């Protein structure tokens, strides 16, 4: 039985603002979603929170194609019921960075399938599918998922994708590298800095940007930590 999404859509529509909707494209680059209501993130979260974990409702909201409904779906889906097949199916629907990052940061990094999905998606050709790989890697690193070995094994994926000049891919790759280098493990910190240094010396413009930006972030973080010591 398909869950009834009408009450959720009505709740989202009650928070819709024309000015927010109109700014989605020019300001945030969200121009490819099937339908955008114009709801602020805080209000999407307010609608989603009382719904609890509900996989059936999440699936129905996702299938609606409405931008805000898909954001809410990522917030209420149950990580324990998410399968690799459903992750791949949702991933194939991704059409903007905001839903991509929310799915990774709020849902997929909490599943036991995260690292396998990173491996599958890192070589995809579509921009948001490939961003999902590295946004998910970054999300896992930020949320302290996995072991050192999980990240050391995936630094080569960062290097392999570092020449992809598409905006949302290169920023996702950069985010993943910085997140790995920000973990508390001395091994990972050293490995991420080594990777960044090699990319910074690359003849490829995009790889150089990724490496140099990560090195700047690492330098700032190291200086901040030294001040606290």
Give 3 or 156, the one with higher predicted confidence. 156
pLDDT number for residue 229? 64
Rounded-to-10 torsion of CA 145, 148, 154, 159 = 120
pLDDT number for residue 29? 72
Reported as a single tens digit per residue, the pLDDT across 170-204 is 999 999 999 999 999 999 999 999 999 999 999 99
pTM for the whole thing? 0.94
Reported as a single tens digit per residue, the pLDDT across 22-65 is 888 776 777 665 689 999 999 999 999 999 999 999 999 999 99
96-229 topology per CATH? 1.25.40
Give 1 or 81, the one with higher predicted confidence. 81
Does residue 117 contact residue 130 with C-beta atoms inside 8 Å? no
Q: Which residues neighbour 104 within 8 Å (Cβ) at sequence distance 6 or greater?
A: 132, 135, 136, 138, 139
| Domain boundary assignment for the chain | 1-77, 96-229
No. of helices (H) and no. of strands (E), the chain: 14, 0
Distance between CA 157 and CA 153 in Å, rounded? Answer: 8
pLDDT number for residue 33? 56
Average pLDDT, the chain: 94
Reported as a single tens digit per residue, the pLDDT across 114-162 is 999 999 999 999 999 999 999 999 999 999 899 999 999 999 999 999 9
Distance between CA 210 and CA 137 in Å, rounded? Answer: 16
């Amino acid at each position: 039985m398909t869950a009834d999404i009408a009450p959720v859509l009505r709740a989202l529509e009650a928070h819709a603002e024309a000015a927010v909707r109109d700014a989605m494209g020019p300001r945030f680059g969200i121009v490819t979603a099937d339908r955008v209501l114009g709801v602020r993130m805080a209000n999407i979260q307010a609608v989603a929170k009382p719904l609890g974990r509900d996989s059936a409702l999440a699936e129905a909201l996702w299938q609606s194609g409405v931008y805000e409904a898909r954001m809410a779906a990522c917030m209420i889906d149950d990580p324990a019921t998410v399968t690799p097949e459903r992750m791949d199916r949702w991933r194939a629907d991704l059409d903007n960075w905001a839903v991509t990052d929310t799915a990774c940061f709020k849902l997929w990094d909490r599943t036991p399938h995260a690292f396998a999905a990173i491996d599958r998606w890192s070589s995809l050709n579509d921009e948001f599918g490939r961003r999902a790989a590295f946004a998910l890697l970054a999300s896992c690193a930020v949320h302290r998922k996995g072991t050192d070995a999980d990240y050391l094994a995936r630094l080569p994926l960062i290097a392999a994708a570092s020449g992809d000049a598409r905006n949302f891919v290169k920023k996702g790759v950069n985010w993943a590298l910085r997140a790995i280098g920000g973990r508390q493990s001395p091994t990972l910190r050293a490995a991420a800095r080594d990777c960044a240094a090699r990319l910074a010396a690359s003849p490829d413009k995009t790889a150089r940007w990724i490496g140099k930006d990560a090195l700047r972030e690492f330098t700032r973080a190291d200086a901040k930590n030294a001040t606290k010591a």
